[in-house]
Chain A
Amino acid sequence: MIVELSFGVAAAVMLAFMCVSVLRLAIGPTAADRAVALDTINTLVVTTMVLLGVAFGQVVLVDVAIVYALLSFIATLYIARYLAGGLE
């Protein structure tokens, strides 16, 4: 019981780090800064979903984390191609 609670506390700490990253997403001077902040937030979201899967006792959240990791990877690649100057 206390072990699951510690996973929930770790997930809450990750949420605080995500709020810090949202600060850079808001004030970032260039578009690349915002893309880096979004990439960091995506990694933290995947970790938080895996931790919450233990805290709530539901394995399906881990599967959602796998799909989220792959989709955020594709989104990051598209943003990088856009920064490099178009998709043609």
Chain B
Amino acid sequence: MNVLIYIFLAIGAVFNGLGAVALIRFPDVYTRIHGATKCTTFGSIFSILAVVIYGFARGGGEGGTLAVHALLALVFLLLTNPTGSHALARGAHQAGIKPFQAVVDRLEDKR
């Protein structure tokens, strides 16, 4: 059980790091939203699943409370993270920010 926790923590740390690197390296707003949001959501899933496994393995009242509340936090994160990033991309497009090296904007009239 401990090996599974270590593996999940490592996967979560690697993907959250990829999200931070994407935030620094990508050229414009839309690619930064793409890289940062997807990588941090995927990394957070595995980090919190490690906490859930730890809680169920410890057992008892406190372990069960830890696991259920961590699962609830994961559900809220999965609901709110894509919604917020979509709203940010829509707001950036309506603010008139063009994609990097863009020639044609086919959503120009939807602004």
Contact = CB atoms under 8 A, between A and B. Distances in A.
Interface of A: 3, 6-7, 10, 13-14, 17-18, 20-21, 23-24, 30-33, 35-37, 39-40, 43-44, 46-47, 50-51, 53-54, 59, 62-63, 65-66, 69-70, 72-73, 76-77, 79-85
20 contacts: A3-B54, A10-B12, A20-B20, A20-B23, A30-B97, A31-B95, A36-B29, A36-B85, A40-B20, A40-B37, A44-B16, A47-B43, A51-B51, A54-B55, A59-B65, A62-B66, A62-B69, A62-B70, A63-B69, A81-B87
A44 B5 CA distance: 19
Contact of A36 (B16, B36, B55): B36
